[in-house]
Structure 1
């Protein structure tokens, strides 16, 4: 298998993983809404979907159009970062359980989760997103996609984290599951 074919398979697998996330997210959003969950910040959500889809499409387009030389040290090290980012993402999903979804929905009366990766960082899932956003394209030396996604994602995350922090500030500050 050529490195371009292997990269294509990797990007498709990440896309399938993202679809699995959306299934979990939809189920968890329904759970939250059934318990009186309140959604905030929906206006930036479509931009987030476009940006994350653009990461996958952009990486493949750049790989096929530019056909960059891919140093194996870069490919393997960035693949390692992609795998670690996926592990961190799923650690976040499992830790938050029903409270995790891709939207900002809080259930009144629930306390913020402060265990697992949330005991160390307030937004560990976004660390996973940042890592994956530059590492995935760089598995195939697609530096343009990596830079464009990273810059646009930084802008989006400033909005997203502000919205999420405001929503979380409405919750009891007693940690859930502590």
Structure 2
């Protein structure tokens, strides 16, 4: 059974992320010019970096034996738990933002800082959720380089996105944003 899981897990997790992101993206759409340029292409960059990294990680895992490792049966349970935790955190963050959520960086009319839900502890809990999902997918490839590819790509793309988002929030909320940000980790408490 673990070999069957190993064969299907990375693709299944990638498909789950894709479906989840499509569903999230349908919640709040903006017209092409409605973000006022605040997004600076960060939404597109995320897709242009993360999707090829998944494809490349898959190729590496299948064709490069050096760096491969085998997850024990219990390891697959841990991968599932990490993935589910990431998906749950992402959805909780999106729900906490409510109508303020958009897939592109934008400040909407009546925008306010959300400090409840996961935003009580993190500035960007939705991105923490994404990173947990990509960690699970990377582990599912059972290859060190594949894990590094998907995590490295997601961290790089999200670092740019976070910088863009924080600039927009600082411009809109000034001292309130500075105070909010000073009391919370960006993504990972104690690390980032």
TM-score by length of 1: 0.78
In structure 1, distance between residues paired with 2:117 and 2:149: 31
Within the alignment, does 1:117 sit opposite 2:118 as a pair? yes
TM-score (norm 2): 0.73
Partner of 1:93: 94
Structure 2: gaps spanning 5 or more residues: 181-192
Evaluate the alpha carbon distance shift between residue 110 and residue 130 of structure 1 in structure 2; reply closer, same or farther with a 3 A threshold.
Answer: same
Higher mean displacement: 98-107 or 70-79: 70-79
| Separation (CA, whole Å) in 2 of partners of 1:90 and 1:171 | 25
Q: Determine the C-alpha separation between the residues in 2 that align with 1:143 and 1:74.
A: 15
CA shift for structure 1 position 87? 0.3
Equivalent position to 1:10, from 13, 16, 19? 13
Cα distance in 2 between the residues matched to 1:149 and 1:93: 23
Change (3 A) 1:91 1:12: same
What is the RMSD computed on CA atoms of the aligned residues? 2.8
Is contact 2:93-2:125 (8 Å) kept? yes
CA change 1:102–1:111 in 2 (3 A) is same
Number of equivalences = 169
The offset of 1:5, in angstroms, is 4.5
In the alignment, the residues of structure 1 paired with residue 158 and residue 12 of structure 2 have an alpha-carbon distance, to the nearest angstrom, of 28
Give the conservation status (yes or no) of the 8 Å contact 1:89–1:128: yes
Change in CA separation of 1:141 and 1:150 when aligned onto 2, cut-off 3 Å: same
Structure 1 gaps of 5+ residues are none
Q: For structure 1, which segment, 152-161 or 92-101, has the greater mean C-alpha deviation from structure 2 after superposition?
A: 152-161
Q: Corresponding residue for 1:70?
A: 70
